[in-house]
Amino acid sequence: MTRLKICGLTNRADAEYALELGADALGFVLEPSSPRHVGDDADLLAWVRSVHPFVTTVAVFGESVREDRLGPFTALQSLCPAAKSDRKVIRAFRPRHAGAMAELSALCDGADALLLDAYHPQAYGGTGTRVDWELAAGIVAGAPIPVILAGGLTPENVAEAIRRVRPSAVDVSSGVEFRAGAKDHGLMRAFVEAVRAA
């Protein structure tokens, strides 16, 4: 079964609904340049600490990881190849061409999973731009660690993405929003149903 992460959560109501739907992981953006940045929301961070230990809570960074912000989280996600932690490390990767396959070994070193997102010159992620699925399928086949597919996934296309790419998990943010950082609960439900049925 394909696992599921709902990312870019900015408030407790959306995060609780993601849990109710059965999401395996919840992502909270700590990158200040993102419109989904949660900042120092004490109530939300206290709630994250209370999440059941069987659910992974992910602190999402851009290129630099702040260890002092990892308190309540069980995993971290970053583009930084040097990110080391006592928590699970998800290495974000934005492949631009087939030559990316040559980078796999270095990218996977020290990481527990690899997250594929679409390259965008002005943003680290959450742009709604789709990853090249053919390229992604090749990376899944060649990676020595689990691969998470992100980038432009929606309730309408996620089942096809799973069939074509065969990732261990999928990650959605903008594909279930009515605006950046605000989740549409109907789209969240439809996305989860599509993943579970794929």
Rounded distance between C-alpha atoms, residue 74 and residue 57, angstroms: 5
* β-pairing verdict for 113-116 and 169-172: unpaired
Examine the residue annotation and report whether 41 is marked as an active-site residue of this protein: no
Non-local CB neighbours of 126 within 8 Å, separated by 6+ positions = 7, 8, 29, 34, 35, 36, 173, 174, 180
Examine the residue annotation and report whether 7 is marked as an active-site residue of this protein: yes
* β-pairing verdict for 182-183 and 177-179: antiparallel
Catalytic residue among 7, 14, 108, 132: 7
Catalytic residue among 14, 117, 132, 171: 117
Rounded distance between C-alpha atoms, residue 137 and residue 6, angstroms: 21
Encoded amino acid at 58, one letter: V
User: Tokens 């002005």 belong to which residue?
Assistant: 122
Any idea of the CA torsion for 154, 21, 58, 51, to the nearest 10 degrees? 170
> Helix 133-142 to helix 158-165 angle, to the nearest 10 degrees?
40
Q: Are 91 and 83 in contact (CB under 8 A)?
A: yes
Rounded distance between C-alpha atoms, residue 124 and residue 54, angstroms: 28
Encoded amino acid at 133, one letter: W
Catalytic annotation, residues: 7, 117
